[in-house]
Structure 1
Amino acid sequence: MKKTIVLLVASLFFTLAVPAQAGVVLGGTRVIYKDNVKESSIRVSNSDDSPMLVQSWIETTQGTNDKSPFIITPPLFKLNGNQENILRIIKLQNTLPQDRESLFWLNVKGIPSTENDNKNKLIIAIKNQIKLIYRPKALLEGSSIEASKKLKWQREGNIVKATNDSPYYINFNYVKVNGIELEMTTINTLPPYSSHRYNLPAVSAKNNITGMVLSWQAINDYGGVETVNNVNL
């Protein structure tokens, strides 16, 4: 889950105080929209004592919301302190591929309330962004976890190539070589029917170690981690 801080109002002189763990909290790190249901939902709560304005929207992985076949309701509402509400996600069109999963971003932004006292203030809105994955009916019998166990790994010099031959998105918790974690800054989600190349750890690449052991751990539909898988390179 990504969190982004947005500065809404600023002045030359202000005092900034951000309470720990305050603001909008989502009831999950991802939403799996299964095509055999009319809608999916996620809980949103306000952990602060003051009311907040909550804004929600769905966008594509390219950052646009004009091509999303989903709507979210309510898109804008007031959420009192220490209260919660339910966001409902509804698919309007059936134009998505039916032979593989599709990925979107669900964004929820909390805008704190302010007192009308004419004082200079800095208002901070925190945006939560989580994955929304559409799963067609034809794929409901399988799972991304079973697919993650069948990933193909191939060493190419100082590179290791991961290939996903399944119709599911594979979400990594980590990938390690001989206990050293690979940098996943470029991609930690492997799309269906795709491959990606990762740089080997500097120590392994420099020493050209043979017989390396690669291990990976995938994240399931509920945001939990699964058992570790291993393969010899």
Structure 2
Amino acid sequence: MLCLQGPASASVMLSGTRVILHETQRETSLPMKNTGTSPYVVQAWVDAGDGRSKTPLVVTPPLSRLDPGKENLLRIMRVGGELPADRESAFWLNVKEIPQTPNQENVLQVAIRSRLKLLYRPTGLPGSSAEARALLKWTVSAPAQGQGAVLKVGNASAFHVTLLKLTVNQGQGPDGKDQEELDAGMVPPFGELSFPIQTLKAPRAVQINFTTINDYGSESPEEFVKVPEGAEPVPLKAEPARAPAASSSGGAQR
């Protein structure tokens, strides 16, 4: 029989949930620390998502040893390549901690990987990332195929907007009924995302409560918008929600 270790938990701690490289910077860095009692080999790399591993950004050192209680820096820099000048570009920074080979036999080892958003931000973009959430556009539409309804969220800014909480409130009653939590995501600049609403059989106006993540990985105050039915997302003014947003653990995927 195998002697299994306890539940896997990360020992290499990263100081943040996202990294932003500005065009004016030669490089940016991400501190990391080994809070465990054993040394680890740390492997780091950048990918563009969707299985694309080739990017104009690199991280160094790509492979390093990190002893217990020690700290090190991961440095991210641009190495050429064409990137849009009118909007942010999004990548992923992957950090894998690989434990040392155990002395005893029949021990299951787990290599834990953290995955952080890595944003490249050109100079001269209109507005700011903090103002981007106010430029979101909304509508409830019919899906491309089949019955039901989808929430479409458009982004009229040059910055990525990460939605952390996305709740459909149909009844808005104090008992919490007629609510549906949607799988939130990151809305790209000048793009849109669609979120299926399982509790609606056809498009209609609903209230949407939402929060976003800022440049420092913190959750914004909860707001709501009254979203109409329509084919294309429209700009709406968000209002503060009546109740404060519940604490949420977005982890490395924020």
Indicate if the aligned counterparts of 1:56 and 1:76 stay in contact, CA closer than 8 A: yes
Specify the alignment match of 1:213 in structure 2: 207
| TM-score of the superposed pair, with normalisation by structure 1 | 0.83
RMSD of aligned alpha carbons: 2.1
d(CA) in 2 for partners of 1:133, 1:208: 34
Specify the alignment match of 1:112 in structure 2: 99
Question: Offset at 1:60?
Answer: 1.0
Indicate if the aligned counterparts of 1:25 and 1:47 stay in contact, CA closer than 8 A: yes
Unpaired runs of 5+ residues, structure 2, are: 143-148, 173-178, 228-254
Q: Secondary structure at the match of 1:124?
A: coil
Are residue 51 (structure 1) and residue 51 (structure 2) matched? no
Specify the alignment match of 1:227 in structure 2: 221
Which of the pair is proportionally richer in strand? 1
Q: How does 1:46-125 map to 2 (within 5 A)?
A: 46-65=34-53, 67-116=54-103, 119-125=105-111
Q: Deviations over 1:89-114 (max 9, x none)?
A: 01111521111111111000001112
d(CA) in 1 for partners of 2:33, 2:2: 28
Are residue 151 (structure 1) and residue 148 (structure 2) matched? no
Q: Deviations over 1:13-56 (max 9, x none)?
A: 42111366442221111101111111111111112101011110
Distance 1:163 1:15, change over 3 A: same
Specify the alignment match of 2:188 in structure 1: 191
Unpaired runs of 5+ residues, structure 1, are: 1-12
- Opposite residue 18 of structure 2, the aligned amino acid is R
Specify the alignment match of 1:200 in structure 2: 197
Question: Offset at 1:176?
Answer: 1.6
d(CA) in 1 for partners of 2:180, 2:12: 32
What is the identity percentage for the equivalent residue pairs of Structure 1 and Structure 2?
Answer: 38
Question: Offset at 1:230?
Answer: 2.1
| TM-score of the superposed pair, with normalisation by structure 2 | 0.76
